[in-house]
Amino acid sequence: MTLQTKTDLLTLKDSVRTKQTPIKGFTGLIRLDKEKDWIVDNIEDLSQEAIRDMFLDIGVLKDKTNERKKMKMYEGVDCECSFYVFSKSNAVRTFCYNIYTAKWFDNTIMILIALNSVKLAADTYFLQRPDTDLIKVVIVKVDECFNLLFFVECLVKCMSLGLILDGGSYLRDNWNRLDFFIVLTSLTDMLLTKWLDADVFKILRLLRTLRPLRVISHNASMKMIVAALFESVGSIFNVMIVVMMVWLMFAILAINLLAGKSFYCSIDMYKNHRKSDCNDAGGSWNRFDSNYDDVA
């Protein structure tokens, strides 16, 4: 459908509404993606270009010339020259940025993280086998492949966004810093254990348990949950103080009412209820492990 006039755009609006697309409405809030909304009071007050841009962003219209995509490329990225070599017009950087913004790229990384987590769990079944065993050799090779793939992911993002100096760069985001730390420690572990066979470097293998955390940086919902947990730490600490005060009150009450009453006789404990009777029977007067003689 060729859109020449504003009437054509409004006709398209009616056809879209008839098809019951997941657009919330053309008067009010229109959801474009996870990060951007269109606030529209009345679509008829918009210009033809604004309506066309809105439909292009929503996906109702196809941008066959890729003009819209080129305009939005490097949006929010201030780094003009990645690694002081690759400018925004550089073909290599453009290729990396297109890969970075593609949906299949994030999906592929999520699959790799899931497979890597399964591999880490499977490693525990072969810890006692010698390093020359075929399964252990295969596990090491698979681990090296995962490390290289995650390094390539990190390199693509650094090429696309820049490393750290400018706004919007890769290491300006805290979640990307976590990713970078995990990838860096994995590569260090792989290289040191391969070239320097020293037991002291094997402690780096403990950091492999951090790898499943990379799924957080690729999932917006999990990011929100973790951020909410960190924001609530102060409130949780206040609740813990109140709970400790209540616990202390009841502990003091129990000491005043039941202190010295949690003892038993080692001989016929259900018959000798007093210390004198226990001593006469030749037993010892012992205290129960669970008692009310102190706060702890």
Q: Is a pLDDT exceeding 80 seen at residue 68?
A: no
Residue 5, pLDDT > 70, answer no
Q: Output the average pLDDT for the chain.
A: 76
- On whether the pTM is more than 0.85, the answer is no
From 122-131, 135-144, 158-167, 230-239, the region with the lowest mean pLDDT = 122-131
What are the structure tokens assigned to 295, written together? 């706060």
Enter the tokens of residue 28: 């009010």
According to DSSP, the β-strands at 81-82 and 86-87 are antiparallel
**260: phi > 0 → left, psi -120 to 50 → alpha, else beta; which?**
left
8 A C-beta contact, residue 71 and residue 155? no
Which tens digit of pLDDT belongs to each residue from 88-136?
888 899 899 889 888 889 889 889 988 988 888 888 888 788 878 888 8
Residue 60: what pLDDT?
Answer: 59
Q: Over range 204-210, report the average pLDDT.
A: 72
The letter for the amino acid at 232 is: S
Residue with more model confidence, 194 or 90: 90
3-state SS track over the chain: CCCCCHHHHHHHHHHHHHCCCCCCCCCEEEECCCCCEEEECCHHHCCHHHHHHHHHHHCCCCCCCCHHHHHHCCCCCCCCEECCCEECCCHHHHHHHHHHHCHHHHHHHHHHHHHHHHHHHHHHHHCCCCCCCHHHHHHHHHHHHHHHHHHHHHHHHHHHHCCCCCCCCHHHCHHHHHHHHHHHHHHHHHHHHHHCCCHHHHHHHHHHHHHHHHHHHCCHHHHHHHHHHHHCHHHHHHHHHHHHHHHHHHHHHHHHHHCCCCEEECCCCCCCCCHHHHHHCCCCEEECCCCCCCCC
